[in-house]
């Protein structure tokens, strides 16, 4: 999975640590650089739902309030909330450097946090989803739209690799030596295996 840029993801007012553990686990799986909580209802330490123990592999920041939130320079804050005015996720261009913030299980993003966000994005659903599920969809959309993947074919099924774009899972293509159909033979090889030296193909006859 290769993408340019980086992202972090967090939630405001989390009251169920298991939800945050689930979010952090998924974030780690999708290659997040950090996760965070803001004003958590309950302090989130090491929930059982975070089975890969992501805290040992990426930073977890706990901000006691919105003023304490400190993001890296140039990192753009994207609020995730189901509101009428929000940008619909399938039409949203993810910033290269982004921090996504979700709301609490039993509420919505606070007006102060909405004010700090550069964008508010919604997932087009009939009703609010579980916070960790919403986070997973946002992260999947990010890597799907910014990652290097083969294009989907027109017909059902996977891509035909020869015709598709670069696939990050395949070994890097290495160019061989130039092969010419005529010219000086090398190492006595014949036919298709015959390699020639550049510029040796055509020599005009003298006289």
Ligand X SMILES: C[S@@+](CC[C@H](N)C(=O)[O-])C[C@H]1O[C@@H](n2cnc3c(N)ncnc32)[C@H](O)[C@@H]1O
Q: Is 188 left (phi over 0), alpha (psi -120 to 50) or beta?
A: left
Q: Which is nearer to ligand X, 99 or 123 (CB)?
A: 123
Enter the tokens of residue 74: 């140039």
Q: Which is nearer to ligand X, 59 or 107 (CB)?
A: 107
Minimum Å distance from CB 89 to ligand X? 7
Q: How many CB atoms lie within 10 A of CB 176?
A: 6
Angstrom distance (rounded) from CA 108 to CA 131: 10
Q: Which is nearer to ligand X, 90 or 171 (CB)?
A: 90
The CB-nearest residue to ligand X is 103
Q: Which is nearer to ligand X, 107 or 166 (CB)?
A: 107
Minimum Å distance from CB 107 to ligand X? 6
Q: Which is nearer to ligand X, 105 or 150 (CB)?
A: 105
SS3 category, 26: helix
Q: Are 87 and 119 in contact (CB under 8 A)?
A: yes
Counting every residue, how long is the chain?
Answer: 207
Enter the tokens of residue 165: 């774009």
Sheet holding 6-12, edge to edge: 60-63, 34-38, 6-12, 97-102, 76-80, 119-122, 87-88
Minimum Å distance from CB 101 to ligand X? 8
Q: Is 48 left (phi over 0), alpha (psi -120 to 50) or beta?
A: alpha
Minimum Å distance from CB 19 to ligand X? 9
Q: Which of 104, 188, 94 is nearest to 141 (CA)?
A: 94
Minimum Å distance from CB 54 to ligand X? 19
Q: Which residues bind ligand X (CB under 6 A)?
A: 80-82, 102-103, 105, 107-109, 122-123, 125, 128-131, 134
Q: Are 99 and 77 in contact (CB under 8 A)?
A: yes
Minimum Å distance from CB 144 to ligand X? 17
Q: Which is nearer to ligand X, 141 or 150 (CB)?
A: 141
């Amino acid at each position: 999975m290769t993408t340019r840029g980086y992202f972090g993801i967090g939630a405001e007012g989390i009251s169920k640590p298991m939800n945050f553990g689930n979010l952090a686990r998924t974030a780690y799986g999708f290659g997040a650089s950090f996760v965070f909580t803001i004003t958590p209802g309950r302090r989130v330490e090491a929930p059982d739902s975070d089975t890969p123990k992501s805290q040992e592999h990426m930073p977890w920041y706990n901000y006691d309030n919105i003023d304490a939130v400190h993001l890296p320079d140039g990192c753009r804050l994207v609020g995730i909330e189901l509101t009428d005015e929000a940008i619909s996720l399938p039409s949203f261009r993810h910033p290269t450097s982004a921090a996504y913030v979700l709301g609490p299980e039993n509420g919505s993003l606070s007006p102060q946090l909405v004010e700090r966000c550069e964008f508010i994005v919604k997932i087009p659903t009939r009703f609010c989803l579980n916070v960790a599920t919403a986070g997973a969809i946002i992260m999947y959309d990010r890597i799907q739209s910014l990652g290097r993947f083969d294009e989907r074919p027109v017909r059902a099924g996977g891509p035909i690799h020869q015709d598709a774009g670069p696939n990050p899972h395949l070994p890097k293509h290495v160019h061989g030596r130039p092969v010419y159909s005529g010219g000086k033979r090398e190492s006595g090889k014949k036919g298709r295996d015959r390699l020639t030296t550049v510029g040796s193909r055509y020599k005009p006859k003298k006289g």
